[in-house]
Each structure stands twice: as structure tokens, then as C-alpha cells.
Amino acid sequence: MPIPLYVVDAFTSRPFSGNPAAVCPLEAWLDDATMQAIAAENALSETAFFVRRADGDFDLRWMTPVAEVELCGHATFASGFVLLRLLGERAERVRFHTASGELTVARDGERLAMELPSRPARPFEPPASLVRAIGAPVVEWLRGQYELAVLGSERELRELAPDLACIGDISVTAPGDDCDFVSRFFAPKWGIPEDPVTGSAHCTLVPYWSERLGKPTHFARQVSRRGGELWCEQRGERVVLRGSCALFARGEIAL
């Protein structure tokens, strides 16, 4: 039976920017090997699979081309977009049950709003190999869900060319020139040299910048080659990310 497939650019209002995710609505779970093979064939940073539950919520899983992950923001955002904008879901909010707990995507005017867990970072002493691999002056080293390196300026971040052979996964951030903060994210251990726009990284970026800037709301950019925009809010133990999605393609997987 053919499997529906949507390719959605998340955290952007136009195709060819933001972070592309493949979304596969399923009637029932496929075996893990088949889902991993689909994700590898899609060759995008994430493929999301969801199944409707008896209570009307959804179970959601994410896979990179090489492995299943515990949390993915942009593919959750794209899944919410598929349900609320393309598949006729009438609810104001959809709930996903995941390895990281309950996540939601809700209508927010012309945008969507996603709630993720807040995962604050703490200072840590990086190994010398990581310091060398970054190849730029780092103002602060922290560790939350991922290692976090804070640079002094947006220019330094845009020019950053780390040694990916010596990096597992790391978020790098700096003050923005025309926004509150900018970031980039590198995850070669997951088969993703640089992720275009990383929702899960903002689980740590938002609490960091909320404390540093002394305010709960921010406008942020991820300054990868594709780029993306996020309106962020620290809300207790949750992080709210607002933004847009653009449909790039829809079709079927012939299995």
C-alpha cells in the first residue's frame, strides 16, 4: 500500500530555505528497518513518522539517514503543519507523544506555535580537541542537550568552518546584528554535517539567551546557507517556537 510523503521546509515562509523534513503519515507502524531505509532514501536531515492514537493524539518518531533520534524540532513542526494545514485536522492544537514526552503544535494566526521541553545548559570544560576543532575564539562553553559554544559576534559565526571530523554534535551561537541571537548547528555523528534550522537546539538556546538578555521572548535566526527564522519564548519548563512552513512536495512511497 502506498505511503503518503510530504516534504516541508520548516521555519520559513518560502521553499528552498528553512529546514526540509520528510513527513510520512502512517495507518500503523512499519518495522524499524523499513522506516530507517525510508529515511536513508529521503536523504534529508530528518524523516518523521506518525500514527493516530485511539484518543485522537499522535505517536511520533524521527529518523536521520543513519539513526533514530530522541528529539527533533523541525520535523515535529513540519508534522504539525501537515496535519493542521494539509490534512484538514480541525483542532486548534495537535499533540504528539514522543521519546521526549508530549510535544504540541498549535495554530497561531498565520504562523504555528510549537512547545518543546526547556533544557538549560551549564558551563563545562571542553576537551582540547573540541577547542581546536571549532577554530574560533569561544566566549563561553556550555552543555545542555548538546554542547554549546558562544562566540562574540555574528560575523565570527557566519565565517565559522569547524573541523567536522572532530565534532559529534554542537550548537554554536552569538548575538545577532538584526535579531536577538543567531546560531548554527553541526551534527556529523548523525549524518548531518550542518543542520539548516534546528528546533531542538533552541531548547537550550532560548533559556540561555533569556537569562543573558533578561527577557523571555526573542527573534532568532539560524544562519546556515538556507537560513531560517524563529520567534522564541521561554515559558517555565517549556520553550515555545513560532514560525512558518512551506510545502515543497507531496507524493507517495511505493512499497
pLDDT value for 191:
83
CB neighbourhood size of 79 (10 A): 30
Provide the mean pLDDT of the chain: 96
Region 105-114: what's the mean pLDDT? 97
Same CATH topology for 3-116+241-253 and 122-236: the answer is yes
Q: Where are the domains of the chain?
A: 3-116+241-253, 122-236
What is the Cα–Cα distance from 48 to 146, expressed in whole angstroms? Answer: 21
Q: What is the DSSP string of 102-129?
A: EEEEEEETTEEEEEEE----EE----HH
**Average pLDDT value for residue range 140-156:** 94
| Interval 114-145: pLDDT, tens | 999 999 999 999 999 999 999 999 999 999 88
pLDDT band at 38 (very low <50, low <70, confident <90, very high): very high
Give the SS3 label for residue 131: helix
Residue 105: name the closest of 97, 116, 94 by CA: 94
Maximum CA extent, the chain: 53
Residue 189 has a pLDDT of 85
C-alpha cell at 213: 538578555
pLDDT of residue 36: 97
Cell 534550522 sits on residue: 197
* pTM score: 0.94
Name the fold adopted by 122-236. Diaminopimelate Epimerase; Chain A, domain 1 (3.10.310)
Q: Measured between alpha carbons, how far is 1 from 22 in angstroms, rounded to an integer? A: 18
- Among 160-164, 186-190, 216-220, name the one with the lowest average pLDDT: 186-190
What pLDDT, on the 0 to 100 scale, is given for residue 78?
Answer: 98
pLDDT of residue 211: 97
Beta bridge partners of 46: 21
Using left for φ > 0, alpha for ψ between -120 and 50, and beta otherwise, residue 51 falls in beta
Residue 1 confidence (pLDDT) above 80: no
Catalytic residues: 46
Q: What sign does the dihedral 111-102-74-241 (CA atoms) show?
A: positive
pLDDT band at 148, cuts 50/70/90? Answer: very high
Q: Is the pLDDT of residue 25 over 80?
A: yes
CATH number of 3-116+241-253: 3.10.310.10
CA distance 159 to 114: 30
Residue 151, pLDDT above cutoff 90? yes
